[in-house]
């Protein structure tokens, strides 16, 4: 059987397919028997016979009949014979179900635990394990959800051989060689899985380089500028940086642009190790041998397959030459544990400048082990070997569809990625488990006769870890349909890595999220998720290689009265929907203790021991995710709020003004130029403020139309007069179309200069931020470059874009 072509294969085919891939990856290597890239073999997929599905339908019909009959004689008690009363589950006396109330009672912690154990039973890196895709498709189908596997063929790399050695170049004596391995823990069997990946970066360059060592703190663009100001060059050197601050791909790119030969990225205990608390297995934080894998793609240029920028990597799609791929770095890089980093940091001591002289944040947490942080360059040399194999590889997205009953052409998309560098209990298997339980809960509603008004799509993405590949390719293939019909995209990546609820979203979705979190109880408390979210929101965010969560406090005026909802930059599968297609998006999680991120210690044992022992945080996430989906897909009037967008836009402009003022002061050449240029620049910002006011006026018109609809007709348009019914439907459709299409009007077909794949005028990932979001990216980058002529042109275009969006909202 041809495993690449027959996507409906049995699970047994997966093993031969994997072995063929591995044999190809190992060619040209010295280790033909290496098991490093082997993926774990999972159990056979679920197979549900037609007869069982028929029986399920009969059972559902009997259950409904029981409900109708029983509702007339059930006594006024909570339970009967140990079963919850149907009316307490959301069944009114007339027999119609309330999908919200029924749904809240369905998610099961036991089933969530089973799903988590399955998905995180071993390493399942993209392109090697297709068994989980088949399992996911079959599980969706077992719930009555039409499902299929959609295959793409991106260019991916896999590890072959790695080495980091410190040596004396004069004598050739090796003084230290990094283990590049994580300790096996007897307490956690997954840490000794022979299929675990070695130290590795997705989309890293193949290479064998040698040079002196230089320490560059977090490796941000500002850190490299600080080294230059101190007279320290990284040209021809191996650069050592620590995780945190900015996305790892930015660190490698910034080093490459300054002539470095290679980059080593280590996890410092100050950021997520023993400085934060007890390390695994005694606590949730990163132990000394832990290695953080991940992609070093230039994700802020464009995500997805490097060889098919802007279009899907189908089997017959044309490919560009890898040398022309603008989102790939060209120098090798590897991740290190902080145990392996210590000898390298010691080799720097006394050379160059003391790191504390460069900046207050340059000293990490290894001082407790006698480490002094110095910049170098070192006298000793470092050899960095990163041998990788690139290959056009099959990946599998799983797409499930619940067709809408009335407005089926419009769709709400729910997504989580399935692939992981390791077992990935938190990232992403906590979200994958939640997606399966969400599918089951929606299936149970359908068995009771419920159908959403609009279509619901459930997506299990592949190859997210490499650079949002699976979701990006799907969006690029479906772009026209999405721009016409996409209502919203709701993303859950890491569902649970801590106990604090966090969210990033398009402003139109904020009110809905606030409403839903007020309906879901926070585990083991008398509070709702919203209550706890609001109470904890004044705390500081962790310094992590993760998306920015909110505005700077100085411009976040709403933070005192509502929980912060952050901007959507990049770093997860919402990116293509929001920044490329203009589909309003939401991403959410319970966050807080990512001390095993992308390591062999991200296991279900750690997750249940220190973060969510009874799986009730997972259950809460399913409830939030499901309620958001049901309301978006089933409410007659969609709860997307343009007024909220207009309010946030005012804050965007204020943030831009602050950014421009800082950049202007550093680029103006003299007082006269400063005065005249400032006048011209801030005049353009005045045009932005005027456009924002027009958007606010138009957004309130949509709000008034909603009030009018409810007062005159009612949301359901239930009236006998055919003429009044038609008028109601027309007005309701207009309100809904304006609300969910607003985001599309902030999409510029030309894109951001130099990063044309990103097309959102108001917010996109920053040029030197990676995951972090930047408001008015084209304007912000022109200001950073001191190109005030381009700034004024982009300001004029942004104001026109906002005005056009405002006029669109007035169309009825």
Summarize pLDDT for 750-767 with one digit per residue, the tens: 999 999 999 999 999 999
Q: Is residue 330's pLDDT more than 80?
A: yes
Rounded CA separation 194/768 (Å): 37
Mean pLDDT for all residues in the chain: 87
pLDDT attached to residue 426: 97
DSSP string, 304-347: S-TTSTTS---TT-----GGG-TT---S-EEEE-HHHHHHHHHH
Least confidently predicted of 191-200, 518-527, 532-541, 683-692: 532-541
Q: What is the rounded distance in angstroms from the CA atom of residue 368 to the CA atom of residue 384? A: 27
pLDDT above 90 as % of the chain: 80
Q: Report the C-alpha gap between 13 and 482 in whole angstroms.
A: 34
* The pLDDT of residue 782 is above 80: yes
Residues 595-618 have pLDDT tens digits of 999 999 999 999 999 999 999 999
CA 276/CA 215 separation, integer angstroms: 23
Question: Where residue 81 falls among pLDDT bands split at 50, 70, 90?
Answer: very low
Between the alpha carbon of residue 469 and those of residues 196, 297, 417, the distances in Å are: 22, 11, 10
- Residue 491 pLDDT more than 50? yes
| pLDDT class of 684 with cuts at 50, 70, 90 | confident
Phi, psi of 92 (to 5 degrees): -65, 170
What was the pLDDT predicted at 593? 84
Is residue 8 over pLDDT 70? no
DSSP-based three-state secondary structure for 504: strand
Helices (H), 598-754: 604-610, 616-634, 642-667, 671-712, 722-741
Q: How high is the pLDDT of residue 682?
A: 75
pLDDT in tens, 142-177: 999 999 999 999 999 999 999 999 999 999 999 999
Q: What are phi and psi of 438, to 5 degrees?
A: -65, -40
The predicted model gives 634-658 an average pLDDT of: 96
For the chain, report the end-to-end CA distance as a whole number of angstroms.
56
Contact call for residues 174 and 166 (beta carbons, < 8 A):
yes
The predicted model gives 56-61 an average pLDDT of: 48
> What is residue 661's predicted lDDT score, i.e. its pLDDT?
85
% of the chain residues with pLDDT over 70: 83
pLDDT higher than 70, residue 40: no
User: Which residues, in sequence order, are bridge partners of residue 211?
Assistant: 382
Q: How is residue 678 written in tokens?
A: 């400032």
pLDDT band for 79, please (50, 70, 90 cuts): very low
Instruction: Give the C-alpha separation, 790 to 778, whole Å.
Output: 9
Question: Cα 95 vs. chain centroid, distance in angstroms?
Answer: 40
- Can you name the residues that pair with 486 across neighbouring β-strands? 411
Task: For residue 174, give every residue at least 6 positions away whose Cβ sits within 8 Å of its Cβ, in sequence order, or none.
Answer: 165, 166, 167
Structure confidence at residue 720 (pLDDT)? 87
Going along the chain from its start, the domains and CATH numbers come out as 50-152+398-634 (3.40.630.10), 155-392 (3.50.30.30), 642-809 (1.20.930.40)
Measure the CA dihedral 105/607/126/266, to 10°: 150
**Pairing, β 201-202 against β 294-295:** parallel
Q: Which of 618, 571, 592 is nearest to 436 (CA)?
A: 618
Q: Contact at 8 Å (CB) between 738 and 533?
A: no
* Encoded tokens for 402: 């619940």
Confidence of residue 214 (pLDDT cuts 50, 70, 90): very high
pLDDT at 631: 98
Q: In 3D, which of 311, 806, 770, 761 has the Cα closest to residue 578?
A: 761
Q: Tokens representing 593?
A: 């203790």
298 pLDDT exceeds 90? yes
pLDDT over threshold 80, residue 548: no
Q: What's the confidence (pLDDT) of residue 538?
A: 72
At 526, give phi and psi (nearest 5°). Answer: -100, 15
* CA-atom Rg of the chain in angstroms: 27
**Pairwise CA distance, residues 559 & 549, whole Å:** 12
In the three-class reduction of DSSP (H, G, I as helix; E, B as strand; rest coil), residue 595 is classed as coil
Compute φ and ψ for 182, nearest 5 degrees: -100, 145
């Amino acid at each position: 059987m041809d495993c690449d072509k027959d996507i409906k294969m049995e699970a047994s085919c997966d093993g031969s397919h994997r072995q063929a891939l591995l044999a190809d990856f190992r060619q040209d290597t010295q280790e033909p028997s290496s098991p490093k890239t082997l993926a774990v073999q999972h159990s056979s997929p679920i197979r549900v016979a037609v007869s069982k599905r028929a029986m399920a339908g009969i059972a559902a019909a009997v259950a409904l009949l029981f409900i109708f009959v029983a509702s007339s004689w059930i006594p006024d008690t909570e339970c009967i014979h140990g079963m919850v009363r149907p009316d307490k589950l959301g069944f009114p006396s007339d027999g119609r179900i309330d999908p919200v109330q029924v749904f809240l009672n369905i998610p099961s912690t036991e089933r969530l635990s089973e799903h988590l154990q399955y998905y995180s039973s071993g390493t399942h890196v993209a392109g090697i394990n297709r068994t989980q895709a088949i399992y996911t498709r079959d599980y969706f189908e077992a719930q009555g959800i039409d499902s299929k596997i959609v295959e793409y063929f991106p260019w991916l790399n896999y590890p072959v051989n790695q080495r980091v050695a410190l040596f004396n170049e004069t004598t050739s004596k090796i003084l230290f060689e990094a283990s590049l391995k994580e300790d096996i823990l007897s307490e956690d069997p997954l840490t000794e899985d022979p299929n675990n990946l070695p130290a590795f970066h997705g989309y890293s360059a193949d290479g064998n380089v040698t040079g002196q060592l230089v320490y560059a703190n977090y490796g941000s663009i500002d850190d490299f500028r600080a080294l230059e100001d101190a007279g320290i060059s990284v040209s021809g050197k191996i650069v050592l940086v620590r995780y945190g601050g900015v996305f790892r791909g930015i660190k490698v790119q910034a080093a490459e642009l300054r002539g470095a030969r290679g980059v080593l990225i280590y996890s410092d205990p100050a950021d997520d190790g023993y400085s934060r608390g007890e390390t695994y297995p005694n606590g949730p934080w990163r132990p000394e041998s832990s290695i953080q894998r991940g992609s070093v793609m230039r994700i802020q240029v464009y995500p997805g397959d490097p060889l098919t920028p802007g279009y899907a990597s189908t089997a017959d799609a044309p490919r560009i030459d890898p040398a022309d791929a603008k989102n790939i770095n060209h120098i090798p890089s590897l991740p290190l544990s902080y145990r392996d980093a210590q000898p390298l940091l010691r080799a720097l001591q006394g050379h160059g400048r003391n790191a504390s002289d460069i900046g207050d944040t340059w000293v990490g947490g290894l001082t407790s082990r006698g480490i002094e942080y110095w910049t170098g360059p070192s006298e000793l040399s470092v050899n960095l070997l990163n041998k990788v194999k690139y290959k056009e590889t099959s990946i599998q997205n799983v797409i499930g569809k619940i067709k809408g009953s009335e407005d089926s052409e419009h769709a709400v998309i729910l997504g989580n990625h399935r692939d992981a560098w390791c077992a990935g209990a938190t990232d992403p298997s906590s979200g994958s488990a939640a997606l399966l339980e969400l599918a089951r809960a929606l299936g149970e509603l359908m068995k009771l006769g419920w159908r959403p008004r609009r279509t619901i799509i459930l997506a299990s993405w592949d190859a997210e870890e490499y650079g949002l590949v699976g979701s990006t390719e799907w969006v690029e293939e479906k772009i026209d349909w999405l721009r016409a019909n996409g209502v919203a995209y709701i993303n859950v990546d890491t569902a649970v890595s801590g106990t604090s609820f966090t969210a990033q979203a398009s402003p139109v979705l904020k009110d809905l999220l606030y409403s839903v979190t007020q309906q879901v109880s926070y585990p083991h408390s008398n509070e709702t998720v919203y209550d706890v979210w609001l109470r904890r929101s004044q705390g500081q965010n962790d310094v992590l290689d993760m998306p920015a969560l909110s505005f700077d406090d100085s411009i976040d005026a709403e933070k005192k009265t509502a929980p912060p909802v952050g901007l959507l930059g990049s770093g997860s599968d919402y990116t293509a929907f929001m920044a490329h297609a203009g589909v309003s998006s939401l991403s959410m999680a319970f966050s807080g203790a990512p001390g095993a991120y992308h390591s062999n210690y991200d296991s279900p044992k750690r997750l249940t021991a220190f973060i969510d022992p009874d799986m009730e945080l997972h259950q809460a996430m399913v409830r939030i995710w499901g309620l958001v989906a049901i309301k978006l897909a089933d409410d007659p009037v969609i709860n997307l709020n343009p007024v909220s967008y207009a309010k946030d836009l005012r804050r965007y402009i204020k943030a831009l003004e602050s950014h421009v003022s800082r950049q202007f002061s550093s680029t103006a050449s003299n007082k006269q130029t400063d005065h005249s240029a400032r006048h011209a620049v801030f005049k353009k910002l005045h045009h932005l403020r005027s456009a924002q006011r027009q958007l606010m006026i138009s957004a309130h018109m949509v709000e008034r139309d909603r009030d009018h609809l409810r007062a005159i007709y009612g949301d359901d348009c239930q009236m006998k007069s055919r003429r009044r019914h038609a008028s109601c439907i027309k007005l309701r459709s207009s309100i809904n179309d304006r609300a969910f299409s607003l985001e599309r009007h902030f999409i510029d077909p030309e894109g951001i200069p130099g990063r044309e794949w990103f097309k959102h005028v108001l917010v996109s990932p920053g040029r030197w931020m990676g995951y972090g979001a930047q408001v008015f990216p084209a304007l912000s980058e022109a200001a950073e470059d001191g190109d005030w002529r381009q700034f004024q042109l982009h300001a004029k275009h942004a104001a026109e874009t906002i005005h056009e969006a405002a006029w669109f909202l007035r169309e009825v």
